[in-house]
Amino acid sequence: MDELFEKIIAGTIPSEKVHEDEHTYAFLDINPTAPGHTLVVPKQKSTNIFDIPESDWLAVMKTVRMLAPYIKEAMRADGLNIVMNNEPAGHQVVMHAHVHIIPRFEGDGLKPWRGRPYEEGEAQRVAEKIRSLL
Ligand code: 5GP
């Protein structure tokens, strides 16, 4: 699956392109969560958030922000989820960085992530662990 999106960008594998610019390519997901589900990818291959150069990440974010209201309007959606899966543990299947734009509808039944509150003192310990690496 490593080269799949490179072939889509190059046009050797067909896709329903919705937008293209110098640094990014956006196309419909072949197996949409809802019609209009769009993937935005950097043209230059990165695996995911951990190796994408900042400039490509910013280009992807710019394209996502530009497309979001048009996708919402075109699909008459009530909302959108913007999601990036990273690494197999994060449900990443295609190892070329990509951001999902997923139209959402009132009552569409998609479940939000489950959460659980922190235990006493846990949030401070967790935040400190992250801060200590920055
Ligand atoms: P991931 O789980 O890696 O974040 O998502 C990969 C996405 O790529 C999936 O939603 C899947 O439906 C989509 N996908 C996989 N193969 C193809 C393909 O050949 N064409 C298109 N347009 N989308 C694909």
Where exactly are the structural domains of the chain?
Answer: 4-133
pLDDT given for residue 66 in this prediction: 98
pLDDT given for residue 44 in this prediction: 97
What does the alpha-carbon distance between residue 87 and residue 90 come to, in Å, rounded to a whole number? 5
29 lines ligand 1 (CB under 6 A): yes
Active site residue 98: yes
Q: pTM of this prediction?
A: 0.96
Which homologous superfamily is 4-133 in?
Answer: HIT-like (3.30.428.10)
> Are 60 and 40 spatial neighbours (Cβ–Cβ below 8 Å)?
yes
**pLDDT tens figures, 56-105:** 999 999 999 999 999 999 999 999 999 999 999 999 999 999 999 999 99
Pick from 18, 19, 29, 60 the residue to mutate for probing ligand 1's pocket: most ligand atoms within 8 Å of its CB. 29
pLDDT given for residue 102 in this prediction: 98
Burial code of 80-92, b = ≥16 C-beta within 10 A, e = fewer? beeebbeeeeeeb
Cα 24 → chain centroid: 13
What does the alpha-carbon distance between residue 115 and residue 111 come to, in Å, rounded to a whole number? 12
pLDDT given for residue 112 in this prediction: 87
